Structure 1
Amino acid sequence: MRTTTAPTQGAAPNSRPGCAGAAPAGEEDVFWWTEWPSGLYTKVQWTDYYRRLLRLLTTNCAYMRVTKLILRVLHPQFPPGVSSSDRLWYPDGDVTKSVLYTELLTKLGGTSVREIFMLPYVFDEVSREGWLSIAPTKGKVMSGVFHLLNEYNAKLSSIKFSGITVDYEEMKHVPTEYDLFWDPQGEADFKDGTNFEVGVAIGFDQVGRFEEWPWISHFYLEMYDFFRPTAYISQTADSRFLLYENMPSKMVNYVVNEAVDKVVQAAYVEHQSRAHLMWSMQFQGDQCVYPLNSGKCGYNHEFGSWDAAPFNEFLRIIKGKLAHNSQGIYHYDFLPYSMIPDDMHQCLSNGCS
């Protein structure tokens, strides 16, 4: 079992309750991308999930100051086979009865969060049918998504949804609407007449999308799955995240001078206002709250093996090395025990043994 290292000589201990190791030098602004942990289907489970998330916004050991949340929402009929009142995100057609509303959205005033985006799940047919069931425009999946956003924003008084974020791999399963990304005049059609912002997660080197998708507001660049010096290296024991574990300066040097080439970096500069760096918390260990069904906290070896203070230092250094609008993590569910208080070191997904 991996343990958090003690503070180095001369370093102050982490002052946040339950946090081991050295204290980070200061807070770093980030966004958090949340997902759907395996096995979470009930109100009780999601109530606990949102309460833990709310707490960690201000108590995480890595001193991440979370200014934006990207929140996974499955579909308005979820979970399957329950009564209308037991649906998680749209119970009885009333968002104010949802645990997302009661346990998180209405309590963000005491945090640093200033923006929230919905991450709608559209990968499978059941989910798409769920969105279509509330769509004002017949046959348009995203019409249902934007309708639910409007329903929430009508009830929220301070921090409202700015828009949606989607994974382009998921959007391929909604081809008619996905094709609108390439259409310079497709924005109004995609947004179903609303003014919400749209963000898309893409590979870190897919920089052609900046110009190919002209009306997309935000590009979340997946700063992982690096293929230098060899493809799939992060899936192996030779992962540079392991080789340079807890060595932020060396990791920054690898990212800037090897993993991300100069052509890609130039595109980040040109499109900085829409470029958001997204670092992966994956690790093939089991030291996280919501592991995959395999029991592992991801498929790759990435920042999930790091301690809190070195990761914070990496975030601080990389800010001046790669052009970007903001940076954050993919994803919150894989936060390692080293970055959360010790009384939250539990395993709560189907992947727990």
Structure 2
Amino acid sequence: MGHALTMGQTPRKPRLPVINLRDAGTLIGLLVIGAVFAASAPSFLTQHNLINILQQSSINACVALGMTLVIISGGIDLSVGPTAALSAVITATLVVSGMPLPIALLAGLATGLLCGFVNGALIAVAGLQPFIVTLGTLSLYRAMALIFTNGNPVLGLSPSFRHLFNGSIGIFPIPVLIVGVASLVAWCVLSKTPLGEYILAVGGNEEAARVAGVPVVRTKIATYMISGLAASLGAMILIGRLGAAEPVLGNLWELDAIAAAAIGGASLMGGKGSIVGTLLGAVVLGAMRNGLTLLNVQAFYQLLATGIIIIAAMLVDRFTRGTA
């Protein structure tokens, strides 16, 4: 009885360590994958290729950061790809029309926030199921991107915009540094702020959190808005690299983001997850795909491997959840 919560009292969750046992397991898995591919493809462990893996993983890692918070809260966001596409075509259209870069970027990021707000409001206020809502907005946002551009790509992004997301500082590509900063912010939010405690509490037991005075509705909306923002930031990185924005951009991003979070230890039942683990999960996927490409393995086998990894991660969570 001494642990009972009173009305208005925020449930206290243990602060998340920077690296936990599951993160260490993911790191060991990454090292094993690296060793296997290094033995099979001598170019795998070169500095150029390792930096390339980090750059290739940066977009998925960015999107997966937001997805992780949603999953920890007990939700899912299937609309991250179309959210990214809509943000991308709006930003690119404004840049091509001569709009100042800060305004164009803010418009794109605000689009992601708005898409996330719509998802969160439908789920938290209207009480709809996250899977159904985000499946619906997946189609809605994709259609909006196609309608906005008449199905055509937006070409001709300025060199200044491309350099903003496609340059390097030292040996590190700017996208890697952007994701590094975003990861630090996400870790601080989850581990050092009341919002992080609320997210963990809602995902662990929503009814208990509500009774304890946690603002459940605002917490859910906030997580989906963060997910939308992360998807938009990933879109900025991609169109900066490509120099164009496609309305079909972001296909299967939700699968990769969920896979990265699951590999990193996020429970699809909610209440558990790790920012460090998600980053490692994204790099695991990036390293796996890079290594398979070096070995000339066709892309559809890489998709098969991603699906197997998600199922395996869910099985690990299922059999370890009770002992956590």
Same fold (TM over 0.5): no
Structure with greater helix share of residues: 2
Structure with greater strand share of residues: 1
- Flag the structure with more relative contact order, 1 or 2, with Cα contacts below 8 A and sequence separation at least 6: 2
Q: TM-score, normalised by structure 2?
A: 0.25
Q: TM-score, normalised by structure 1?
A: 0.23
